[in-house]
């Protein structure tokens, strides 16, 4: 069988093959575009845990990509909350397999220079395209606000004991992890990975700098001991560290000649660290923009407005002191379910996002209102 000749100029060249880059390559190929992707290690298996609310996932994603689904998961602040949505943990290997199929041509190489229409590789070669998309993630700059987490994988019976019988816990801010009220808080995240594997993870939501991995490990084991849970020494471990905001030099995709996608473009929610579902859902929007040479779908004025409001939310989180952070989330989880969903997931509805923020502000204590007002007036917290 004769291989198809490579075009002199590709329709799109994608740099970076994490979930965002893979999703874009998969959807652009499905739309009939000539796609080439560049990554130093394109065949490296993904190992991170990816999760999403069920209503965030695109219709084109096969059900096989979902490993587990928990209806009405729990959150704890000073009391128990039930979240009226379905929370899914994705099957990482199947997701990677799905996105890798029918996704154009892949080149193993390191991109050393990007322009809107070309990519220069470390070996001196150049890839030319009508559009270049930077999907290389956020990088690891210490100047960026980051999320860190340390987790262990246990059996369902152990997890059930640790979580008090809850099927999944989105956030548990209770301070039975050996910390005092003045210590930077962290929360427990507990979700089923498969039918017989469960992740229990101590998480620093956002920090500049964030809590170190060693501190999170100590807190997790202290918390589990307080709950009568002993973690087997052979348990698998997950370590998480990533920026929740794009690097300053990357800018917003809608303000640059170079197209960016995924966390690199600011699709990551700065208040939660979630980006995979948004990248999956938005891949078709960017494909349509690339086909007609616009950016009005991926970065409509509504999406830009929501991004600005979420950036304010990040500033609030970074300015809250240890005592008030769990209290802040108590007000959030008291919001009506539709306002919670709007703030967490809807990047095209600034009115609902603003309604969620306004409702929280009115319900909050005077101390938290003060932090919100100062964060609104002060644009930088670095």
pLDDT tens figures, 57-73: 999 999 999 999 999 99
Copy the structure tokens of residue 182.
């003045």
3-state secondary structure 81-127: EECCCEEEEECHHHHHHHHHCCCCEEEECCEEEEECCEEEECCCCEE
The pLDDT score that the predictor gives to residue 142 is: 77
CATH class of 146-243: alpha beta
Predicted pLDDT at 138: 86
Q: What is the pLDDT of residue 4?
A: 54
Task: Name the segment(s) of the chain with CATH classification 3.30.70.
Answer: 146-243
The per-residue pLDDT for 12 is 97
pTM for the predicted model, two decimal places = 0.93
CATH placement of domain 12-45+97-137+245-292:
3.50.50.60
**Long-range contact pairs involving 118-122 (C-beta distance under 8 Å, separation at least 24):** 118/13, 119/13, 119/15, 119/38, 121/38
Nearest to 88 by CA among 191, 160, 159: 191
Would you say 219 and 161 are in contact if contact means Cβ atoms under 8 Å apart? no
pLDDT at 249: 61
Model confidence pLDDT, tens digit, residues 191-208 = 999 999 999 999 999 998
* Predicted local distance difference test score (pLDDT) of residue 252: 46
pLDDT averaged over 10-residue windows placed end to end, the chain, 382 residues: 68 97 98 97 95 97 97 96 98 97 95 95 96 90 89 96 96 96 95 97 94 97 96 93 80 64 92 94 96 89 94 93 93 97 96 97 95 83 42
In sequence order, which ranges of 320-349 are alpha helices (DSSP H)?
325-333, 337-345
pLDDT value at position 3?
45
Contact 134, 16 (CB under 8 A): yes
For 197, residues 6+ apart whose C-beta sits below 8 A from its C-beta are 153, 154, 155
Three-class SS state of 79 = coil
Neighbours of 276 (CB within 10 A): 24
Domain with CATH 3.50.50.60 in the chain: 12-45+97-137+245-292
- Cα–Cα distance between 78 and 284 in angstroms, integer? 41
Of 13, 16, 19, nearest in space to 35 by CA:
13
Residue 1 pLDDT: 37
Beta carbons within 8 Å of 65's beta carbon, 6+ residues apart? 57, 90, 91, 94, 95, 98
Task: Name residue 15's beta-bridge partners.
Answer: 38, 134
Distances (CA, A) of 108 to 8, 16, 37, 122, 336: 18, 10, 9, 10, 47
Angle at 143 between CA 113 and CA 215, to 5 degrees: 125
Secondary structure of residue 295 in the 3-state scheme = coil
Q: Across-strand partners of 104? A: none
Helix (H, G, I), strand (E, B) or coil at 275: coil
Q: What is the pLDDT of residues 336-366, one digit of tens each?
A: 999 999 999 999 999 999 999 999 999 999 9
């Amino acid at each position: 069988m004769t291989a198809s000749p490579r075009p002199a100029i590709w329709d799109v060249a994608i740099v970076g093959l994490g979930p965002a880059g893979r999703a874009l390559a998969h959807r652009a190929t499905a739309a009939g575009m000539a796609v080439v992707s560049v990554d130093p290690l394109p065949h490296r298996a993904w190992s991170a845990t990816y999760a999403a609310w069920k209503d965030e996932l695109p219709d084109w994603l096969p059900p096989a990509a979902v490993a587990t689904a928990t209806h009405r998961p729990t959150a704890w602040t000073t009391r128990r909350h039930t979240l009226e949505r379905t929370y899914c943990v994705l099957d990482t290997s199947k997701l990677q397999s799905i996105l890798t199929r029918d996704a154009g041509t892949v080149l193993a190489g390191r991109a050393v220079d990007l322009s809107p229409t070309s990519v220069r590789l470390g070996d001196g070669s150049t890839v030319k395209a009508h559009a270049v998309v930077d999907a290389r993630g956020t990088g690891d700059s210490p100047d960026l606000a980051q999320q860190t987490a340390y987790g262990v994988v246990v059996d369902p019976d152990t997890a059930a004991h640790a979580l008090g019988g809850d099927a999944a816990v989105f956030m548990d801010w209770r301070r039975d992890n050996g910390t005092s009220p003045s210590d930077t808080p962290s929360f427990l995240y507990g979700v089923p990975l498969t039918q017989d594997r469960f992740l229990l993870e101590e998480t620093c939501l956002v920090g500049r700098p964030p809590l170190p991995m060693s501190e999170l490990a100590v807190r997790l084991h202290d918390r589990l001991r307080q709950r009568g849970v002993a973690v087997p020494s052979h348990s698998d471990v997950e370590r998480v560290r990533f920026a929740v905001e794009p690097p300053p030099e990357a800018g917003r995709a809608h303000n640059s000649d170079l197209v960016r996608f995924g966390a690199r473009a600011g699709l990551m929610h700065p208040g939660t660290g979630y980006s995979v579902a948004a990248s999956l859902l938005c891949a078709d929007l960017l494909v349509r923009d690339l086909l007609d040479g616009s950016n009005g779908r991926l970065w409509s004025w509504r999406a830009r407005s929501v991004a600005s409001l979420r950036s304010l939310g990040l500033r609030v989180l970074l300015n809250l002191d240890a005592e008030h952070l769990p209290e802040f989330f108590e007000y959030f989880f008291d919001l009506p379910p539709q306002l919670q969903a709007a703030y967490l997931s809807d990047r095209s509805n600034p009115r609902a996002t603003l309604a969620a923020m306004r409702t929280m502000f009115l319900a909050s204590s005077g101390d938290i209102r003060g932090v919100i007002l100062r964060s609104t007036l002060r644009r930088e917290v670095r």
